[in-house]
């Protein structure tokens, strides 16, 4: 089954030639199976594997033996090995977090540290070899189908939203790297049976058998009971339902983004929209949009719950003069048919500072790979600066030099923090008279080869793609016009 899984990983494009794969390996059956699958992939195509083991400081000598097991395995096979150790219990106490959340946060900080080190190594080597640094750094995790069912049940019981019930994604792009979970369609029993059959060893975490935590109870008591007493295909059915819900959630995200761009006005110090235009949408879109707006003003989604979303929807349908207080100093008020949302703490700025705040936001672009090595062997950077119209000579207003390497965008039509990243599900552009077109359709129209699409970098505002540099394609929504007040200049500059 290892070779079959490796073949499927390649066929599905989860791992591609010259990818840099960070593998989270605890030493347990799941992560050892994943590592062996990645080693098999490496025999088929050229990839780089980096093994990361994290000791949470909870199980004492047992955890130290786990680390030694993984370290020795990597040494025998010449695999690059990283290890990290911390007192997660103390971290949880200091930060008022659960041990589970503290452990997860620590793990991802470790993965990020390795990612940065790999990125710097790639950049330094690119000047001495033909290594193409456009190939992504991916994080491979060993979650399997049983983990997926456990996650969905846990989220359901805690009253999660639709997004929570979609479980974990097989392929997920975040701001810095792609996360792949190649084992989500494989049962844990099949993993252990395969390792036993092949004579491979693994470590056993004794705490997995304990029932001190909710997830362990679901794993050890709830799911076995459901499979034995109710439906023997419980895990498979829950995993399939999660996939179905993910499709619905992706569709809702698409509609919400389009609605946001159509009716929401983002200014330096507040967000506003017309109540009647908001209320014309389906209630599901209203709630999804309300969550997006509160999170945008708050700067985070954590602790923004269903009750806060319902409060904003209710305010939108209420009489003029009403006001509500939301988490993280966010306030929303209704004035006639307009809803205004602002953060009293974050936006206590004068007009001059507001302009500077917007500029700082633009400068927070997440530029993952620094210099990009192109086929012509020249390196290029994308630099950004904000220009205010009032500082420009009127005679030069529409004389900006627009070339393949220089583009101009209306700052006030940018709603979030820009990111230079790979294409994601739900991405779209505006074409012609503000007609929305899915990015996948744009790729087809531009005749972009299928195997190149996921490797193209795009400049995006949420799912709204502003620019595809390699194909000189720009979204019409952010064009500079007579009403533009501030211009974002984006320039690609070659470095010999």
Domain annotation for the chain: domains and CATH numbers: 2-241 (3.40.50.620), 270-343 (3.30.465.60), 351-495 (no CATH)
Q: How far is CA 339 from CA 313, 413, 442, 452, in A?
A: 10, 19, 34, 43
Closest CA to 53 of 78, 79, 17, 90: 79
CA 282/CA 315 separation, integer angstroms: 16
Task: Give the model's confidence band at 458: pLDDT under 50 very low, under 70 low, under 90 confident, else very high.
Answer: confident
401 versus 234: the higher-pLDDT residue is 234
The mean per-residue pLDDT over the stretch 209-220 comes to: 90
Residue 85, both tokens: 């150790």
C-alpha 238 chain-centroid distance: 23
Task: Give the model's confidence band at 363: pLDDT under 50 very low, under 70 low, under 90 confident, else very high.
Answer: very low
Highest mean pLDDT among 99-103, 272-276, 389-393: 272-276
Strand residue runs (E) in 253-326:
264-266, 271-274, 323-326
The pLDDT, as a whole number, for residue 307 is 94
The pLDDT, as a whole number, for residue 231 is 96
Q: How many CB atoms lie within 10 A of CB 389?
A: 15
Computed over every residue of the chain, the mean pLDDT equals: 84
The mean per-residue pLDDT over the stretch 389-414 comes to: 61
Region of poorest pLDDT, from 54-58, 126-130, 194-198, 480-484 = 126-130
Which H helix or E strand runs over 107?
helix 99-126
CA 133/CA 126 separation, integer angstroms: 7
The pLDDT, as a whole number, for residue 358 is 39
Query: Quick check: 144 pLDDT over 90?
Result: yes
Task: Give the model's confidence band at 7: pLDDT under 50 very low, under 70 low, under 90 confident, else very high.
Answer: very high
Query: Quick check: 192 pLDDT over 50?
Result: yes
User: What radius of gyration do the chain's Cα atoms show?
Assistant: 25
The mean per-residue pLDDT over the stretch 418-436 comes to: 80
User: How many percent of the chain have pLDDT more than 90?
Assistant: 53
Query: Quick check: 156 pLDDT over 90?
Result: yes
141 neighbors 174 (Cβ within 8 angstroms) = no
């Amino acid at each position: 089954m290892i070779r079959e899984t490796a073949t499927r990983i390649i066929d599905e494009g989860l791992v591609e030639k010259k990818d840099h794969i960070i593998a989270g390996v605890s030493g347990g059956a799941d992560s050892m199976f994943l590592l062996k699958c990645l080693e098999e992939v490496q025999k088929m195509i050229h990839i780089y594997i980096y093994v990361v083991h994290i000791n949470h400081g909870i199980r004492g000598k047992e955890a130290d033996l786990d680390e030694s097991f993984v370290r020795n395995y990597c040494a025998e096979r010449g695999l690059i090995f990283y290890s990290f150790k911390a007192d997660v219990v103390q971290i949880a106490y200091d930060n008022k977090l659960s041990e589970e959340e503290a452990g997860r946060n620590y793990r991802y900080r470790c993965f990020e540290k390795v990612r940065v080190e790999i990125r710097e190594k790639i950049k330094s080597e690119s000047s001495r070899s033909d290594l193409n640094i456009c190939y992504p750094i991916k994080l491979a995790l060993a979650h399997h189908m049983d983990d997926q069912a456990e996650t969905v049940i846990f989220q359901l019981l805690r009253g999660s939203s639709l997004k929570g019930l979609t479980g974990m994604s097989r392929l997920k792009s975040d701001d810095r790297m792609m996360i792949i979970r190649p084992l989500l369609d494989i049962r844990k029993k099949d993993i252990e049976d395969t390792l036993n059959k092949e004579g491979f060893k693994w470590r056993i975490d004794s705490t997995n058998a304990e029932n001190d935590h909710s997830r362990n109870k679901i794993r050890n008591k709830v799911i076995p009971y459901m499979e034995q007493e109710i439906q023997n295909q419980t895990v498979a059915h829950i995993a399939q339902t999660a996939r179905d819900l993910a499709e619905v959630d992706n569709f809702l995200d698409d509609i919400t983004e389009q609605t946001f761009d159509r009716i929401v006005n983002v200014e330096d110090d507040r967000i506003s929209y017309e109540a009647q235009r908001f209320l014309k949408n389906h209630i599901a879109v209203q709630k999804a949009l309300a969550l997006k707006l509160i999170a945008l003003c708050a700067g985070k989604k954590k602790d923004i719950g269903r009750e806060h979303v319902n409060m904003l929807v209710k305010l939108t349908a209420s009489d003029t003069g009403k006001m509500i207080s939301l988490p993280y100093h966010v306030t929303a008020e209704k004035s006639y048919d307009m809803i205004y949302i602002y953060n009293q703490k974050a936006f206590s700025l004068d007009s001059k500072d507001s302009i500077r705040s917007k500029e700082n936001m633009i400068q927070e672009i997440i530029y993952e790979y620094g210099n990009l090595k192109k086929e012509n062997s020249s390196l290029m950077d994308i630099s950004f600066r904000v220009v205010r119209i009032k500082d420009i000579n009127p005679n030069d207003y529409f004389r900006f030099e627009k070339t393949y390497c220089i583009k101009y965008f209306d700052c006030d039509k940018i709603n979030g923090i820009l990111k230079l990243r790979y294409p994601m599900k739900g991405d779209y552009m505006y074409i012609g008279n503000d007609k929305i077109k899915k990015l996948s359709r744009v790729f087809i129209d531009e005749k972009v080869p299928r195997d190149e699409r996921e490797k193209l970098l795009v400049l995006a505002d949420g799912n709204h793609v502003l620019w595809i540099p390699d194909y000189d394609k720009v979204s019409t929504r952010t064009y500079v016009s007579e009403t533009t007040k501030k211009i974002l200049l984006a320039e690609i500059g070659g470095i010999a």
